Amino acid sequence: MNLQQITRALQRKLCGKKHDGIMNAYFREKLPKIRYPANPAEWRRRTAAIRRDLLAKVYLRGHQRGILKAPPKVQWRGVIETGKGYRIRKLRYEGYPGMWIPALLYEPAGLKGKVPAVLNVNGHHAGGKAMPYKQVRCINLAKRGMLALNTEFVGMGELQGCGLHMQQGHIDLCGVAGVGVMVLAMKRGLDVLLAHRHADPERVAMTGLSGGGWQTAVLSALDERIRAVIPVSGHSPIWHRATVRPQDHGDLEQTPVDLCTVADYDTLTAMFAPRPALLVHSVNDSIFRPEFMRPALFKPARRVYGCLGVKDRIQFYANEDPGTHNYEKDIREQLYVFLKDAWGLDMPTADIPCDGEIFSEWDLAVGLPPDNPTFVTIAADLANGLPKRRSSLHTRAQDRERLAKVLRLPPAYAVRARMAGKPRRSGGVRVAHVVLGMDRWRVPVTEFRPARAGIPTLVISGAGRAKAGAAVKAALRQRRRVFAADLFAFGEQVIAGGERHYLFMECVAAAGDRPLGLCVAQLLALLGWVRSRAGAARVDIVAEGLSAGLAALCAAALRPKGIGRIQADVPDTLRRLIDRQVSYVAEPVAFCFGLFEQFDIRDLVALSDPVELEIAGRGPLRPMRLTPPRRPT
């Protein structure tokens, strides 16, 4: 059977669009919507518990104890005297241990007593704190007698060297919540603002666009010191993104691991209550459009506000001018009106022109230490000394239980097989297509059976079985009975629009599952089916690509019996994912939260004994001993 014939057989679609429907049903079950309170007392009790759980189980998971309450270090770095009724004070503060965050404090001249204060966070804009629309907002707030703190966002502006936001996955791999770096940075910005001797703690607002809107929503839900909340086009429920609007997906911080096991963003938005809040979305925006966010965010939150007797304290505004992803004049004026009404201020609500007062990013630069950490260097520091425990002969059973826990391994799947059409012969090989039902999942398999076939070989590929033709051909050349399958997140089990598939893997992890764990569970069930169908005591595995190789190695570590030999493309250590800055976007399955904290490749290899292993670039490995042999006496 030649390669062209093999490839044609592998390219046959067995699941069609059914997988998208299966994933949709999965998300509807795993991503619950807001649960409404019966009375105000119930809501207060529940939100207090949610805040504790969000910090412990999601945002600060794995971080050092007491880190949230540690006061920030602040360094003042100069003053720009504008002569326009306010000054700009440059500063940087330690947002995360060792990581300095540049910021600008717009301070009204002649301050007396306590005045309102606004924390201005920014989103995914390269100019960061120097973006003109943000400078105009801070200037306008200062000219109205308010303190305005303008903070930099990790990865933007002066912090552009801190790396891509998806590199938070490298921190997650070490068992520490990568999103915690951002949460701590914004929280300590609030600490800095409130430490100002003129800041009125009863009149503190937070606002921002895009990623700044997300920061506003998260910190306002967590920290009740924020008294007025104005997120702009920055957040939406994960259940909505997964089942209604895939366009609204965000980076890893917006869909952190296990978030929805505690609460989704519809609940977080309702947690603004009873504080005044204004949700702003733009009619021609490519994300978070008003027609979707009104029912998904505003109406549920307003119902909770109503339960608390303050229904009118939350408002919704749909921007039409310019109607794009913006925080321009129209939205700024909505902010001024909102703050005036919320705090009973006597101030104008029209944008004050200040075109001649905009500074360049160079002028507003605060400066950073040359060794300011990045997501990758934080992960590299955390990786030192990992994994925390090594597998041993005496703890093999416990180690496997620990691995199953890290993977969130589902209970063993029962397999139901359904033939997809009649088998055919091609080039002397019998080719059959089978769809395996495993709980809710459907696993497509193509079987190649030459005459007098020997040991069965299972081929899995991170690129999908349609790209595994060369591996199948090599096995057939050895007279193997070959089964090529698409595991969860590979091939036909990729959601339509595969270039954005990693975003749905974020949602799976946010729902409390692990994509790697689902892959491994399917693989274990598949191996049992192959052994039964082939009447064989063992199955060999060829795993192409990092994620497929890691799944195969984890499966062998959990249940080595019945696996003969594995050929896999995995690194010598999981630390290479950090050292080589392997992309989460390219390999979302590999970034299993806490895997490296508990296990390295060496441990998985040891647990897989007596499976024969051949790792790309290293050649055959003899089974590794769990403990070194005794020296002869």
Spatial neighbors of 182 by CB under 8 A, at least 6 apart, are 154, 215, 253
Structure tokens at 306: 């109503």
Question: What pLDDT shows up at residue 250?
Answer: 84
Q: What CA–CA distance (Å, rounded) separates 555 from 538?
A: 14
Q: What is the dihedral of CA 272, 292, 261, 546, to 10 degrees?
A: -130
Neighbour-count burial for 28-59, b at 16+ CB within 10 Å, e otherwise: eebbeebeebeeeeebeeebeebbeebbebbb
State yes or no: pLDDT of 625 exceeds 80. Answer: no
User: Could you tell me the sign of the dihedral formed by the alpha carbons of 283, 284, 289, 292, in that order?
Assistant: positive
Q: What angle do CA 124, 128, 132 make, to 5 degrees?
A: 110
Where in the chain do CATH 3.40.50.1820 domains reside?
A: 28-383, 385-621
Question: What pLDDT shows up at residue 394?
Answer: 86
Among the listed residues 350, 310, 312, the one whose alpha carbon sits nearest the alpha carbon of residue 334: 350
User: Could you tell me the sign of the dihedral formed by the alpha carbons of 149, 190, 198, 79, in that order?
Assistant: negative
Superfamily, domain 28-383? Alpha/Beta hydrolase fold, catalytic domain (3.40.50.1820)
Question: What pLDDT shows up at residue 327?
Answer: 98
At residue 247 the predicted structure's pLDDT band, cuts being 50, 70 and 90, is confident
Question: What pLDDT shows up at residue 161?
Answer: 82
Instruction: Report whether 136 contacts 351 (CB < 8 A).
Output: yes
For residue 596, give Cα distances in angstroms to 228, 390, 578.
Answer: 41, 11, 11
Question: What pLDDT shows up at residue 628?
Answer: 47
**341-364 pLDDT, tens per residue?**
999 999 999 999 999 999 999 999
Report pTM. 0.96
The stretch 162-182 carries a mean pLDDT of: 95
Neighbour-count burial for 335-348, b at 16+ CB within 10 Å, e otherwise: bbbbbeebbeeebe
**573-595 pLDDT, tens per residue?**
999 999 999 999 999 999 999 99
Question: What pLDDT shows up at residue 633?
Answer: 43
Tell me what the pLDDT averaged over the chain comes to.
95
Question: What pLDDT shows up at residue 622?
Answer: 53
At residue 626 the predicted structure's pLDDT band, cuts being 50, 70 and 90, is low
State yes or no: pLDDT of 630 exceeds 60. Answer: no
Domain 385-621 sits in CATH at 3.40.50.1820
How many of the other CB atoms lie within 10 Å of CB of 64? 10
Q: What CA–CA distance (Å, rounded) separates 299 from 316?
A: 9
State yes or no: pLDDT of 631 exceeds 70. Answer: no
